[in-house]
Amino acid sequence: MLRAALPLLALPLVGAAEEPPQKSGSPGEPPPGLALFRWQWHEVEAPYLVALWILVASLAKIVFHLSRKVTSLVPESCLLILLGLVLGGIVLAVAKKAEYQLEPGTFFLFLLPPIVLDSGYFMPSRLFFDNLGAILTYAVVGTLWNAFTTGAALWGLQQAGLVAPRVQAGFLDFLLFGSLISAVDPVAVLAVFEEVHVNETLFIIVFGESLLNDAVTVVLYKVCNSFVEMGSANVQATDYLKGVASLFVVSLGGAAVGLVFAFLLALTTRFTKRVRIIEPLLVFLLAYAAYLTAEMASLSAILAVTMCGLGCKKYVEANISHKSRTAVKYTMKTLASCAETVIFMLLGISAVDSSKWAWDSGLVLGTLVFILFFRALGVVLQTWVLNQFRLVPLDKIDQVVMSYGGLRGAVAFALVILLDRTKVPAKDYFVATTIVVVFFTVIVQGLTIKPLVKWLKVKRSEHHKPTLNQELHEHTFDHILAAVEDVVGHHGYHYWRDRWEQFDKKYLSQLLMRRSAYRIRDQIWDVYYRLNIRDAISFVDQGGHVLSSAGLTLPSMPSRNSVAETSVTNLLRESGSGACLDLQVIDTVRSGRDREDAVMHHLLCGGLYKPRRRYKASCSRHYISEDAQERQDKEIFQQNMKRRLESFKSTKHNICFTKSKPRLRKTGRRKKDGVANAEATNGKPPRDLGFQDTAAVILTVESDKEEESDSSETEKEDDEGIIFVARATSEVLQEGKVSGSLEVCPSPRIIPPSPTCAEKELPWKSGHGDLAVYVSSETTKIVPVDMQTGWNQSISSLESLASPPCTQAPTLTRLPPHPLGAEEPQAPLHLPSDPRPSFAFPPSLAKAGRSHSESSADIPQQQELQPLMGHKNRTHLSPGTANSHWCIPFNRGGRL
C-alpha cells in the first residue's frame, strides 16, 4: 500500500514545488536561451494524473494479489475502497484539501461505460434470455418497490421524529433519495459476485437486475429530481403520467439505441476483411457511441451499451479475425478492470472529504435498515410470484443470497453528488448516508457474502468442459421442446426462441455475417473446433515436454529412463538391440533404437510444428500477418482432428502411442510428398493396376490401425515440412498389440490367415510394400524404399540422429539400383505361420511394455478389427473404389 501511495505523495509536492519558478520566470524576463532542461508540468498535468491514478490502481491490484490469502478472504473492491480511504487521507493531509475525487462526469462518461460494455458483451446470452422474465421483474418492479418503500419509510422516520430536524427534506426529497439509493449497482455486484462463484442462474439474475435497473433508476431519479426542483405544489397529475411514460421511453429507447448500434457494428465488421487491425477499435467505438448517444438523448445509457454488447457479440465474433477477438477480449477486460479499480479507489478517496457531507445517525441507520429490509421483503414477494411461473423455482437460499447481494455502489454515489444543493437542502446528509450505505454494502456485505454462500451451501457454478454430445443433445432438446410446444399449441418461450433462431439464421446472420463466417457458424461445429484446438495445444505442450527430456537423454542412449514412453521403447530396445549389428538384419530384428528414433521423429514433428511457421513476418500498420497465426491454428486443428479421432478411443494408451499413431500416416504421405511431389493428394497418383492389390492391402492395414477415418486428410497435404521417414512407431504399436495378444490369448485366431494380416503384424513389410507401389508407378523418380531402408540403416549405424537429411542423401543415390534390398528383409516375414520368434522377448517384458500402452483393451479391438478389415479388403479390391478418398469409404464401409 505504501508503495502504491508513493507516486501520489509526490504529485501535490511536485505540483507545488514547480509552479512558482515557472510563473515567476516567464512574464517579465526576456525569453531565455535554449534551455537544456525545461520542466513543463502544467502541459501534461491532466493526462499525467490520469495515467498515474491508473498506475496506482494497477500497482495496488498487484500488491493485493501478492497474497493469495488476503484476496481469497477479502474482495478486491473492499481492499480498493480501503486503499482509497488511506490515499484520500494522505492527500487531505498533504494538500490540506480534498482532491482527486470521483466526479460524476468522469464516472458516467469514462469509467462506467467500459464496465457495462464488458458485462454486456460477455453476458451469457442464452442464460440471460432464459431468465429474462425474472431479471426484468427484479429490475423494474424490485427497483420501484425499493425506491418507494425506502423513501416512504424514511419520510415516516422523519415524521416520527427520529431524524434530526436539521435534515430539511420533504416527502419528495426522500423519494428522490430512495430512488438513487435503491438501485443495485452493477459494478459492485460484479466485483463481489465474480469472486463468489454462485451458480449461473443466481448470478445472472442478480447481475442482470443490476444492469437493467439502470433505466428505472435513471427515470426515477430524473422524475423525482424534476419534481423536487418544481416543488411539490406545482406537480400535476399529468406529470405523474409523464413520469410513468418516461420509464418506457427511457428503457425501451435505450435498448433500441443499443440494438441499432449493435446492428451497425455487426454490419461494419462484415467489411473489415482487409483492415483487420481496426476491428477491435470499431467494437469499442461503436459501443461507446451507443452509450454517448443514449446519454445525449437522456435514455438509459447502461441499457444501451448492454444491449449493444449483447446483440452484436454473435455476429462480431464471427466476423472479426481470431486475433481481433483476442484483442477485443483483453482490451475490454483490461479497461473494465481498470475502471472498476479506479472507481472503488476514488470512492474511498471521496469519502474522506468531510466538507461534502453531514452526518445524521437517525438517517444513516434508518436507511441502512430499510434498504436491507425492503430489499429482502421485495425479493421474497417477487420470488413468490415468479415461482408460480418458473420451471425451476428459486428456493429460499437463492432468495437469501439475492437479498444480501443487493450491493449499492458508485452509481448511487455519483447520482447523489449530482444533486443540486440549492434545490435539495439535505444533500449533505444524503451524501453521507450514501457513502455509508455504499461502504457498508461493499465492505461488510462483500466480506460476508462468501462465507454466507459457503455456509448456506448455495449451489456453486460448476465448470465442465463442453462435450460434443452435450452440445448436440442440447440442440436437439431445444428443438424437441419447440416441437412439443407446437403440438400442444402453446406459443411459449421455446417456440419464440426457435422462431427467433430461424429468423436469425435466415436473414439476420446472412446480412450481418460475412459469407465465409456464416458458412461455418454453428455451435456444434464451434465446440468441435475448440475441442480440437485445445487438444492440439495440450498435445504440443506435452510433445514439447517429452521431446525435450527425450532429446536431452538421447546422446546417452543406454542410460535413459524416466520418461514414460522411453521406458517402453527401452524395453523393446533391450529385447532387440543386441542383434542389430548387421545392417541387413536390422529390419527384421527391428532394433529398439529404430523405434526410439522414430518416436523421436514424431515428437520432433509435433514439437517443431510451431516454430516452423514462424518465419513469416510482416510489418504493416494496417495489416497484421494473419497467416502465421491462423494457418498455424488451422494446421494444428487439422492435424489434431486426425489425431483426436484416432487417439480418442484409446485413452488408456500411452501418450506416445496416441501421438505416434496418426503420425504414421502422415510420415507416409510426407515421404511421398518429398519424393514424388507431383502427387497432389494421397489417392490421386496414377497407379499401376498390377500393383493396386498390394497398395490396397497396405492401405487397409493403415486404415485399420487408425480405426477412424479422417476427413481433413486432403487438407493436410499442404504441410510438407521436415521429412522424417520413420515408420518404426507403427511397429512399436503393432508389436505391442501382437505380443499382448499372444500373451493373453495365444490362440491362432490372432494369427491371420490372409497374407494381408501377416503384413499387418509385420508392419515393416507393409511399409516396404507401400513404397513398392511407388517404385513401380514412378520409376523415373527416386525410390522411397531407399529412403526408408537407408534411413533405418543410417539411423542404426549412427549414434545420433542429428542430421537426418545428410544421412538420407547418400543412401538415396546408393540404393535405388537394388530394390531387391527392400525385398530381402521381407523374406523372413513371409513366414506368417509363426511370427513369434521375432518378438521373442520374455512375457514379463512384454507385459511391462504393454502396461504403458494398451492392456487387455486391445484384444477386443483386435477382434473387432478382424471382420472389419476383411470387409474393407473386399471393398478395396474392387477397382471402382480406389478413388481419391479411399481411406474414408473403407471405414465407412466397415462401420455402416
- Which residue ranges make up the site for another protein (CB under 8 A)? 389-392, 462, 464, 467-470, 472-477, 479-490, 492, 494-495, 498-499, 502, 518-522, 524-525, 528, 531, 641, 644-645, 648-649, 708-712, 860-861, 864, 888, 895-896
In the complex with another protein, the residue whose CB is nearer, 163 or 888, is 888
Closest C-alpha among 696, 456, 729 to residue 592: 729
Closest separation between CB of residue 676 and another protein, Å?
25
Asked if 355 and 98 count as a contact pair (C-beta separation under 8 A), the reply is yes
3 state DSSP class of 650? coil
CA–CA gap between residue 764 and residue 735 (Å, rounded): 11
Closest separation between CB of residue 391 and another protein, Å?
5
Closest separation between CB of residue 628 and another protein, Å?
24
In the complex with another protein, the residue whose CB is nearer, 192 or 888, is 888
Closest separation between CB of residue 668 and another protein, Å?
20
CA angle 839-829-699, nearest 5°?
100
Closest separation between CB of residue 125 and another protein, Å?
17
Backbone angles phi, psi at 782, to 5 degrees: -70, 140
CA distances (Å), 549 to each of 352, 795, 822, in order? Answer: 59, 20, 34
In the complex with another protein, the residue whose CB is nearer, 625 or 884, is 884
CA–CA gap between residue 75 and residue 191 (Å, rounded): 8
Closest separation between CB of residue 472 and another protein, Å?
6
CA–CA gap between residue 108 and residue 580 (Å, rounded): 79
User: Cell match 502427387: residue?
Assistant: 679
Closest separation between CB of residue 895 and another protein, Å?
5
Number of neighbours of residue 513 by Cβ within 10 angstroms? 22
Closest separation between CB of residue 603 and another protein, Å?
24
In the complex with another protein, the residue whose CB is nearer, 39 or 389, is 389
Closest separation between CB of residue 200 and another protein, Å?
11
In the complex with another protein, the residue whose CB is nearer, 197 or 781, is 197
CA–CA gap between residue 188 and residue 344 (Å, rounded): 9
Number of neighbours of residue 370 by Cβ within 10 angstroms? 22
199-224 exposure pattern, b = at least 16 Cβ within 10 A, e = fewer: ebbbbbbbbbbbbbbbbbbbbbbbbb
Closest separation between CB of residue 488 and another protein, Å?
6
Closest separation between CB of residue 481 and another protein, Å?
6
Closest separation between CB of residue 447 and another protein, Å?
32
In the complex with another protein, the residue whose CB is nearer, 323 or 534, is 534
As beta bridge partners, residue 198 has 460
CA–CA gap between residue 545 and residue 552 (Å, rounded): 11
- 352 CA to centre of own chain: 41
In the complex with another protein, the residue whose CB is nearer, 242 or 521, is 521
Closest separation between CB of residue 393 and another protein, Å?
10
CA–CA gap between residue 832 and residue 847 (Å, rounded): 23
In the complex with another protein, the residue whose CB is nearer, 476 or 800, is 476
Contacts of 581 (CB under 8 A, 6+ apart): none
Concatenate the DSSP letters of all residues of 656-688 into one string: HHHHHHHHHHHHHHHHHHHH-TT--SSS-S---
CA–CA gap between residue 779 and residue 784 (Å, rounded): 11
Backbone angles phi, psi at 840, to 5 degrees: -80, 55
In the complex with another protein, the residue whose CB is nearer, 319 or 350, is 319
Would you give the DSSP letter of residue 719? -
CA–CA gap between residue 81 and residue 69 (Å, rounded): 18
Output the CA torsion sign for 116, 121, 127, 131: positive
Closest separation between CB of residue 587 and another protein, Å?
33
In the complex with another protein, the residue whose CB is nearer, 565 or 707, is 707
Would you give the DSSP letter of residue 710? -
Asked if 661 and 705 count as a contact pair (C-beta separation under 8 A), the reply is yes
Closest C-alpha among 622, 597, 466 to residue 529: 466
Closest separation between CB of residue 505 and another protein, Å?
8
- Can you read off the three cell numbers belonging to residue 772? 513398392
In the complex with another protein, the residue whose CB is nearer, 319 or 570, is 319
In the complex with another protein, the residue whose CB is nearer, 105 or 492, is 492
In the complex with another protein, the residue whose CB is nearer, 378 or 889, is 889
In the complex with another protein, the residue whose CB is nearer, 392 or 444, is 392
Asked if 127 and 154 count as a contact pair (C-beta separation under 8 A), the reply is no
Asked if 16 and 98 count as a contact pair (C-beta separation under 8 A), the reply is no
CA–CA gap between residue 400 and residue 417 (Å, rounded): 31
CA–CA gap between residue 178 and residue 371 (Å, rounded): 9
CA–CA gap between residue 726 and residue 104 (Å, rounded): 69
In the complex with another protein, the residue whose CB is nearer, 448 or 510, is 510
CA–CA gap between residue 305 and residue 282 (Å, rounded): 14
